[in-house]
């Protein structure tokens, strides 16, 4: 996961709060947060998630750096989970109670999750494994879908409003699955941990998440952190990323099932260099996935959690891209394609670069046209303008000063952040339209980018390239 520089780095205030946690941990043997702590954080407008572990101690993990060689990233190892009880308060009233831990009956298991976010930052992200299904998010929608699940996460990217708006955008453009998110305050063992994002996670669930068959289906990920996974399959297109399993778990993988997945990956990566890709991939789902990234100008291509799913082994069941995830590096490329679009090691690049894939480009352009006709970006800009006055926006405004004090940095301004994201959704369509025009004229994505963003000039007798308002030498060095 990629994070903005300087946020949530381990600071001296963390030592004070760690000491407080030690003093208060004995309270949690009663499996409930003390009333004095609750009263301190009531009235802030956000749901309050209170977790007390059975032994009063926090879950732990250790940092691990990538091996030497062609690897990237930092992750965690030696993860020690904890059995716990979780209570959620809304409007200062108890709304959910998991009960004390009894395996397969009540309570939860809490553990650290993530890669860079867990390895480098003090406010660790958590995975919550409920022993009994529940829907932890109250979104106010009259939805007949059963959203109950045992699997939830608390993400520590609360310094940005992107997650909220990305989830909203994914739903608007018709992604198969858009994880619901909600900002919450979190207390673990009577220790205030600040603002988190309570979120659904990516998992197999035919009812409310990603629908793949329990026996034949799978969810795989093109993963930069494959070196810290128990199982991976090499990609023929890149040496930096490999395919890992999200479902099924590696220990449940039969030889026959593994052979089927390996064969599918080989077919996928070969098909995008030829003309038979429509027989392998769900073209429209892939087009929507990359359009989501292009609408958002994603920077971190390797860390963008590139999930591919297949429902079962029937020939009509194609490989599809059902969801976007971990897109906190978005809104970095205002006048260019996202890096997920232009990264040669990702199979999607070849769908644009390969002249035999023009039908895919036409579907992609059709998805863009649909977004424009529906006024999606205008609706997103309006949602940004309204966010500060919503319950979530007001709750963040009240909570950020305490969050900032907890982690030792200046509080964020919700109105200012919302305005910045609003400006993105206002300005991005015209920049994308120039790129789209090149694709519509039958250019490859590289040719379209050059037409839209780049021109060649002679400066001091030397050939230079002007891109995005900056001038570079032909070897990529900035010259003015």
- Residue 210, helix vs strand vs coil: strand
**Whole-number pLDDT of residue 447:** 53
The residue with tokens 């829907």 is 135
pLDDT of residue 475: 52
Backbone angles phi, psi at 186, to 5 degrees: -130, 135
Query: Which tokens belong to 131?
Result: 């022993």
Structure tokens given for 31: 């499996």
pLDDT per residue over 247-274, tens digit each? 999 999 999 999 999 999 999 999 999 9
88 CB contacts (<8 Å, ≥6 apart)?
47, 48, 49, 50, 94, 95, 96, 97, 136, 184
Q: How far is CA 108 from CA 32, 111, 138, 334, in A?
A: 13, 10, 19, 42
DSSP state of 332: -
In three-state secondary structure terms, 293 is helix
Q: What is the pLDDT of residues 6-35, one digit of tens each?
A: 444 434 444 454 545 444 444 445 579 999
Q: Reduce the DSSP state of residue 301 to 3 states and report it.
A: coil
pLDDT < 70 stretches in the chain:
1-30, 140-144, 442-470, 472-480
Confidence (pLDDT) at 328: 79
User: What's the pLDDT at 457?
Assistant: 54
CA gap 265, 183 in Å, rounded = 37
What is the spatial distance between Cα 194 and Cα 225, in angstroms, rounded to a whole number? 27
| Sign of the CA dihedral running 339, 342, 345, 351 | positive
Instruction: Say how many residues make up the chain.
Output: 480
Phi/psi of residue 216, nearest 5 degrees: -115, -25
Tell how strand 454-459 and strand 462-467 pair up: antiparallel
Rounded Cα distance, 134 and 117, in Å:
26
Strand stretches in 211-342, DSSP E: 218-223, 233-234, 242-247, 306-310
SS3 348: helix
Segments in 151-282 forming alpha helices (H): 162-172, 255-271
Q: What angle is formed at CA 142 by the lines to CA 139 and CA 143, rounded to 5 degrees? A: 85
Cα–Cα–Cα angle for 288, 293, 297, nearest 5°?
Answer: 145
CA distance 27 to 189: 8
Cβ atoms within 10 Å of 67's Cβ, excluding its own:
9
Give the strand pairing for 306-310 and 454-459.
Answer: unpaired
DSSP helix/strand/coil, 112: strand
Provide the pLDDT for residue 438: 83
Element (H, E) at 94: strand 93-97
DSSP state of 98: -
Residue with tokens 């993400």: 155
pTM, full prediction = 0.85
Q: Percentage helix, strand, coil, to 5, in the chain?
A: 35, 25, 40
Distance from C-alpha of 464 to C-alpha of 250, rounded to nearest angstrom = 51
Distance CA 21, CA 249 (A): 35
DSSP E strands, 264-411: 306-310
Tokens of 309: 């799913």
Element (H, E) at 395: helix 391-407
Q: Are 298 and 346 in contact (CB under 8 A)?
A: no
């Amino acid at each position: 996961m990629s994070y903005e520089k300087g946020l949530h780095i381990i600071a001296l205030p963390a030592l004070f709060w760690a000491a407080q946690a030690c003093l208060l941990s004995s309270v949690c043997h009663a499996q409930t947060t003390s009333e004095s702590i609750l009263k301190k954080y009531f009235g802030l407008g956000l749901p309050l998630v209170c977790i007390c572990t059975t032994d009063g101690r926090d879950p732990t993990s250790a940092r691990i750096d990538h091996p030497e060689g062609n690897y990237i990233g930092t992750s965690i190892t030696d993860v020690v989970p904890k059995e716990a009880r979780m209570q959620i308060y809304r409007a200062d009233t108890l709304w959910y109670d998991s009960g004390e831990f009894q395996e397969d009956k009540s309570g939860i298991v809490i553990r650290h999750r993530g890669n860079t976010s867990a390895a480098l930052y003090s406010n660790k992200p958590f995975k919550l494994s409920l022993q009994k299904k529940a829907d932890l998010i109250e979104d106010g929608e009259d939805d007949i879908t059963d959203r109950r699940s045992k699997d939830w996460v608390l993400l520590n990217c609360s310094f940005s409003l992107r997650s909220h708006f990305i989830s909203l955008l994914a739903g608007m453009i018709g992604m198969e699955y858009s994880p619901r998110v909600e900002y919450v305050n979190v207390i673990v063992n009577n220790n205030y941990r600040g603002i988190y994002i309570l979120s659904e996670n990516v998992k197999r669930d035919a009812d409310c998440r990603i629908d793949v068959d329990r026996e034949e289906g799978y969810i795989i990920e093109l993963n930069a952190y494959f070196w810290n996974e128990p199982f991976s399959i090499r990609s023929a297109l890149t040496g930096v990323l490999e395919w890992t399993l999200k479902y099924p778990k590696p220990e449940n993988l039969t030889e026959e099932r593994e052979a089927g997945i390996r064969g599918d990956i080989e077919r996928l990566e070969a098909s995008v260099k030829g003309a038979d890709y429509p027989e392998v991939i769900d073209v429209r789902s892939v087009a929507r996935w990359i359009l989501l990234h292009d609408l958002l100008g994603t920077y971190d291509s390797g860390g963008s959690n590139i999930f591919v799913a297949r429902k079962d082994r029937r020939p009509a069941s194609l490989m599809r891209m059902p969801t976007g995830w971990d897109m906190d590096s978005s809104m970095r490329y205002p006048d260019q394609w996202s890096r997920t679009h232009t990264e040669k090691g990702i199979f999607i690049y070849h769908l644009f670069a390969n002249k035999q894939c023009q039908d895919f480009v036409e579907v992609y352009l059709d998805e863009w046209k649909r977004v424009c006709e529906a006024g999606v970006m205008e609706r997103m800009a309006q949602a940004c303008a309204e966010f500060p006055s919503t319950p979530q926006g007001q709750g963040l405004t009240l909570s950020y000063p305490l969050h900032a004090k907890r982690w030792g940095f200046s509080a964020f301004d919700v109105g200012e952040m919302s305005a910045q994201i609003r400006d993105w959704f206002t300005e991005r369509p015209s920049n994308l339209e120039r790129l789209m025009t090149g694709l519509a004229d039958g250019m490859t994505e590289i040719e379209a980018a050059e037409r839209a963003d780049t021109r060649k000039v002679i400066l001091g007798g030397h050939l230079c390239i002007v891109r995005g308002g900056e001038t570079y030498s032909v070897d990529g060095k900035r010259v003015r």
